[in-house]
Amino acid sequence: MNQSNKKLLLVSINQLIAGIQKHFTTASVIVANQTYTSSQLVAVLQPLADAISATTASRAEWLSDSAAEEKALASADEFLSGLQQAVYAAYGNAVATLADFGLKPHVRPVRTAASKAAAAQKAHATKVARGEIGKSKKAAIEAPASTGGASATPK
């Protein structure tokens, strides 16, 4: 149930309680084949109203705490990253020492000859598809000769 529905339900329950206390002071009411006095009706509705109020307050507190946590994490992110870099700089890939800090050593992935060949083939296909040419072919291209007759200075 979303928050606006909960608020409306709480308002409705509180209005029911107020109406019961105002109009059913001496009369009894039959609800679902059971007879209730005004105090019994309020005894059924009041815990529900209290529970909704409590969860609304808890949610507001939780949202506030979550926002504070997010802000703290954002401000500590750069510091934590720097600290990890300092530990790696100080101890390199010493597995036992890094494990004491809860860090894993940096491991370069081992690329097979087949994966390197596939990457080179893909790069070449991309270059051909884009029409890219190298420096030497670009240098070999000459600009077209000027058509002459046209002066560079306006008259």
Structural domain includes residue 143:
no
* CA–CA–CA angle 58, 17, 33 (5° rounding): 110
Give, for all 155 residues of the chain, the pLDDT tens digit: 666 788 899 999 999 999 988 888 888 888 888 898 888 999 999 999 999 889 888 988 999 999 999 999 888 988 889 899 999 999 988 889 999 999 999 888 899 999 999 999 999 888 888 877 778 877 777 766 666 555 555 55
The HSE-up count of residue 112 (CA atoms within 13 Å, CB side) is: 3
Q: Which of helix, strand or coil describes residue 131?
A: coil
Is residue 57 included in any domain, yes or no?
Answer: yes
Render pLDDT for 53-71 as a digit per residue (tens, 0 to 9). Answer: 898 889 889 999 999 999 9
Query: Which residue type, as a one-letter code, is found at position 116?
Result: K
Residue-wise burial string across 17-49, b where 16 or more C-beta atoms lie within 10 A, e elsewhere? beebeeebeeeeeeeeeeebebeebbeebeeeb
Q: What is the pLDDT of residue 50?
A: 92
CA distance 54 to 56: 5
Does one domain contain both 7 and 69? yes
Per-residue DSSP letter, 152? S
pLDDT at 151: 54
139 within domain boundaries: no
Q: Do 70 and 27 reside in the same domain of the chain?
A: yes
Q: Which of 78, 79, 108, 83 is nearest to 93 (CA)?
A: 108
pLDDT at 61: 92
pLDDT value of position 13: 92
Q: Which domain holds residue 124?
A: 92-130
CA distance 10 to 61: 19
Residues 25 and 65 in one domain: yes
Residues whose CB is less than 8 angstroms from the CB of residue 3 and which lie 6 or more positions away in sequence, other chains included: 56, 59
What is the number of structural domains in the chain? 2
pTM: 0.45
